[in-house]
A and B are shown apart, each in its own frame.
Chain A
């Protein structure tokens, strides 16, 4: 049962990385691919109807960790305090920016919110990467599960590598998504950019997986890591052939295999202590009671399929490519009425 919930948490992270991954990428690329105001609006509107639903995957991952592994939730979130605050501020800024940027017709107003979107879209995946890498590589935890050492104990080269890996993935994933969701010049630019930056942007992910492999690897995490490589390579090849849909799906396979490799390497720990292996939080030790896990299983059994169905429907409703010709003129209140 604990192991099952460990897998559920991994799946929730997978959902989050796959879905919000591309909307982070779109935010990162806003000033690069959106050369005019209308183009920037095209980019934002590719994710407009869905980014909020994507973000809920994070909330559910957090809530499910709290319910199923309270010790994991408590130790991780309190130990990585300051980076998490920065991450939350990034999500706050980004979230309101999408909603507010078009509400006033002023270049300065839009420039300000664009800056918030770009900054938030970089900082947030960096934070997610740091958090995930911290979970895998562990923290200096004492016997009570509390952090020993400075507030920046989670900032180490391995975790920074994790941050770069997730951000790099989001960047490429976002570019592939845009080449799938837009038309015209933006689409061409997105595709060209994805092809150009992918080898560099995905490099940290490869290094991260190798590091994890050397440190905690087993046969089947090797297998997962190889799948990541093949899927990424496949995505690249499909994109060259302009099969954007398949490329996007293969990016999904790559992130799924990445999550499998990371969580596979982590198991049976949920948060290793770097001070003493005996103090590591484990799947069995950090889990809630069997009754709570049973309750949660019932909730997940009914909730998850429903979520997948209606979120899938949303993507179907808004499946069309969009381009500058679809963007309506600005209609907002003028400030002068009285």
Chain B
């Protein structure tokens, strides 16, 4: 493999892995903030137990999210240095803003929250978790602004062959960002909601002592999940329509739509290989005219297929890569404007499918546990545990689709923007040696793999232990919020310590 393939694998692996932690952190942190608010307001120990239990899982997860995030930031310079030089004038700004405005807040206030139990006044301590949570959402915004610029470059002009920033507001207010941000945030809440439902339902099934804690968690999780899924469908539709306009090839690839159709049918699934040359013969269930509606809000309009889009791209961006030794084996070769069809086609379907499964399982669990009921069968246990994985899978496939769907571009040309502000992925890599990138690819993948096992092991352990693992046993109505807010005495033991 050459540097390009290795660098792409590395970016893909590290990004998908990082994005397993991120949505859970975003969603769960806000839910924990809500739980703690409920505790501070009502003094009900149930809410304290919830805050502590879900908070502990949040911390285990956050640690992994932070350390894998560092790799993301450095990776642009390490393996994608040509990209970094090309887009530096615009792309670095949202990254730096994320660090300065959001990530500092996250890390600092999380530290205060973890170690500040009983050391800070109760309301100040509560404010810390809110600050942390809102900062994770702000983080997401800046990172998505950076990513959206790669999908749809705006706010720049071309000077000496490089994009130069002309309006930061255009970058931060990119319509692609405004569509991607709610979709991603709803995705995060779908993850967190399902996480609550799955784990809490499993505890209900085990019939331990803390029924009320788990019932409240199922309820909260399901409603958050349902709201999130509704939001996902709406924001996804908006995003899709935008994408038909901005990246028609990506959407044609999402449908494996070979020929232009009018009206175009939406493919539900396919049997066989959707990649060329016979992608038209494998679609098994289609909904007539639905794709036209998804693309243009109208059941009759035309949707361009791959074979008509390719010549358009070739005319604008060339038929062959330039002859340049830095392009390796691609130098002078024809440019393939069609993204990997099986990946985009199935990525799109799996994203939607797993999202649907997640909300379906959540609603089913809520109904099965209505009015204090608890199903006893083993199948219920597997339903609860299985549902946890579904939104994670939906998120991962969504990102794989969105990033693979823009190939062969790393910066996708903006059809209504500045001509020339685009970049082929093949041109973006560093002039590193394959050995270097292979070494880091193997090292990072191995370490991530080991850490995945550790995280799952720890989460499983804390999940099994339930409330007893995070709260020392005490009389039921002790610690109901009546403790005064004065600082601890000097010889007191710390209320929290590593």
Contacts and interface: CB of A to CB of B under 8 A. Distances in A.
Interface in B175-212: none
A20 to B, nearest CB: 12
Interface in A146-164: 146-147, 151
Contacts of A249: none
B458 A103 contact: yes
Nearest to A87: B74
A295 B168 contact: yes
A314 B115 CA distance: 10
B495 interface: yes
A328 B494 contact: yes
Nearest to A54: B107
B350 to A, nearest CB: 29
A333 B469 contact: yes
A33 B278 CA distance: 69
B89 interface: yes
Contacts of B491: 325-326
Most buried by A among B78, B88, B105, B443: B88
B472 to A, nearest CB: 6
A289 B165 contact: yes
A246 interface: no
Interface in A66-121: 66-71, 73-78, 81-82, 84-85, 88-89, 91-93, 95-96, 98-104
B116 interface: yes
A252 to B, nearest CB: 19
A77 B465 contact: no
Contact of A333 (B91, B444, B465): B465
B92 A73 contact: yes
B461 A48 contact: no
A60 B494 CA distance: 31
A53 interface: yes
B390 interface: no
A214 interface: no
Contact of A70 (B88, B490, B498): B88
Contact of B107 (A41, A53, A299, A335): A53
Contact of B95 (A58, A67, A291): A67
Nearest to A66: B92
Contacts of A53: 104, 107-108, 111
B85 interface: yes
Interface residues of A, number: 82
A307 to B, nearest CB: 5
A52 interface: yes
A318 B497 CA distance: 12
B464 A333 contact: yes
A85 B101 contact: no
A338 B206 CA distance: 9
A277 B97 CA distance: 33
B320 to A, nearest CB: 23
A307 B498 CA distance: 25
A45 B66 contact: no
B111 A50 contact: yes
Interface string A288-308: 110110011001100110010
A295 B443 CA distance: 37
Contact of A52 (B66, B116, B433, B462): B66
A241 interface: no
B95 A74 contact: no
A186 interface: no
Contacts of B418: none
Given A52-B110, A98-B498, A66 B100 contact: no
B100 A333 contact: no
Nearest to A336: B464
Contacts of B91: 66
A335 B462 CA distance: 9
Contacts of A338: 464
A331 B63 contact: no
B234 interface: no
A328 B495 contact: yes
Contacts of B498: 41, 44-45, 48, 98-99, 101-102
Given A53-B104, A66-B91, A338-B464, A99 B494 contact: no
B107 A49 contact: no
A310 interface: yes
Contacts of A63: 73, 92, 95-96, 98-100
Nearest to A325: B491
A68 B92 contact: yes
A333 B461 contact: yes
A68 to B, nearest CB: 7
Given A85-B440, A95-B66, A99-B59, A334 B92 contact: no
Nearest to A298: B168
Interface string B111-124: 11011100110000
Interface of A: 41, 44-45, 48-53, 55-56, 58-60, 62-71, 73-78, 81-82, 84-85, 88-89, 91-93, 95-96, 98-104, 144-147, 151, 288-289, 291-292, 295-296, 299-300, 303-304, 307, 310-311, 314, 317-318, 320, 322, 325-328, 331-335, 337-338
5 contacts: A85-B439, A88-B444, A299-B97, A303-B104, A310-B105
